[in-house]
Chains A and B, each alone.
Chain A
């Protein structure tokens, strides 16, 4: 009953305060970004800048047709290239996965490639109908890439393609759900919104109470301090659930297991709020805690880099708690391993309980007069 009264009180205060609406507004902004800024799938068409020099127009046309252009005809780009206010002529060929610009002169191609920081290629056919390639690189390419360019048109390229086709590749998981680019960003936004914002907002709530001195008044009642703290955790959990659903429902619709999602959201939200409680117990106000808060939030955002750069996944990153939050969300969205998700949820529940007990001990000791 006392916990319920405290929870209702927190709900009343939150609904009349600033921070509750900050969280809702932040969720709305993130949703706007997801829906209107981030495309469902990023346009990943490859752009090529070419200069072609063939002995006759017929052979050049044959080569161009090998691009698999949709209509076989080039067009003048809508937005022509300009170097030093001088318009550079080119012809654009659009295929399913490429945009190929063919320039009138090798010099023009090299200039545009340099300005646009793209790879340029000069392809010349000799009288023996052999193709000679000259690549214009930027200088910042890796040695591996440069080496590939050197061998790809070598005398044994037929062998190379044969080897590629003959190499067996087996996919382990056949029921893995592939997320669109927009859906793929969602776990990062959820980690930021539900978890890290929770940490910040919890600290803000506690500092407000410290400023008003109401914690002391609560301490002079038969209700234990942990109920006061837990009521705050509950309100933050409700907020995290609300804001997360604001983001998830329009993007994922009914394609995910919401029960599993809620089972995951509660302990991860609990973790962030318990951490916020603990940090707030060491400081008098938000300004004094800002340094620690800032560092912690930066550290907690580090795993999202690994999320986007799959090849960067050092061991130390796995010790940052938000690592498992990001990947946990992804597992839920890709209908991954339920056991793994529940294990993460259980882990957060245990760690959060320890943090909460620690915070409770701190508040009992630091109720200064």
Chain B
């Protein structure tokens, strides 16, 4: 769905690249996470893929279209949810969706249905300017689904949302992905990436350091251990066991069978820990 080869971009058109020699491919139906701290080159890459920034150097195809010469009809297949909510504040939520729906050449979804999906049912007649930040964000997210996109760009889709709404948004992303929608997710939130992405790319200072699935990364960088907290003769004990060592495995089975288990956690690494390990940088 997306092919990027040797992509470079410089805002000042000099050797100070915001993105340098970036290459990756995203097959149809994948949720691809583009992870990195602020200023890493995530938005620049996404800007080039969506045609907001002109391609300077490299080869990029999006939904079968060469980004060098963008055809407007490409946008019938693309949806984009921006990090910063960008809706017409003087228009109602429904007017916003109805207006954008008319700009597409493909059948579009019912604005009322979309508002309901993102939890804005009954708010269609309220001007977007009167919405809270989170509501505007949800409206921006709903707008990105108007044209039933095959390729969906999501820039920090859950930022600023309360956990319940964030969970709804994650559910929608999963549901759309199950229908075959390809998702390009830009975020610095590793938990969301871990939960949603089939593969993730770590980008720092315009360079991609690594591309792999969260599962593989955890196996490679995590520790194969389990931490158990259990009661032993009225005393609370904590022990760590290897899931690979036969002796540890036997001892763990024995504790599970005989003791009163309080908590038990695998000691796999989080994506954030792996990111720090691989890039030497924190996600700020």
Contact = CB atoms under 8 A, between A and B. Distances in A.
Interface of A: 1-2, 5-6, 9, 12-13, 16-17, 212-214, 216-224, 365, 367-369
B279 interface: no
Given A12-B91, A369-B46, A220 B84 contact: no
Interface stretch (B97-105, B210-218, B232-240, B263-271): B97-105
A220 B95 contact: no
Interface in B89-133: 89-91, 95, 99-100, 102-105, 127
Given A12-B91, A13-B90, A217-B143, A368 B82 contact: no
A222 B52 contact: no
Given A17-B90, A216-B82, A221 B52 contact: no
Given A1-B102, A2-B103, A5-B102, A224 B90 contact: no
B179 interface: no
A13 B100 CA distance: 14
B89 A368 contact: no
A223 B86 CA distance: 17
Contacts of A5: 99, 102-103
A2 B88 CA distance: 17
B182 interface: no
B47 interface: yes
A365 B56 CA distance: 12
A16 B127 CA distance: 11
Nearest to A16: B90
A316 to B, nearest CB: 37
A212 B91 contact: no
B100 A217 contact: yes
Given A9-B99, A222-B103, 12 more contacts: A5-B99, A13-B88, A212-B88, A216-B52, A216-B82, A217-B143, A220-B75, A220-B79, A223-B103, A365-B54, A367-B52, A368-B53
B100 A213 contact: no
B224 interface: no
B78 interface: yes
Interface in B199-233: none
Contact of B100 (A16, A216, A221, A365): A221
B89 A212 contact: yes
Most chain-B CB neighbours within 10 Å: which of A5, A217, A220? Answer: A220
A212 B86 contact: yes
B72 A213 contact: no
A9 B88 contact: yes
B158 interface: no
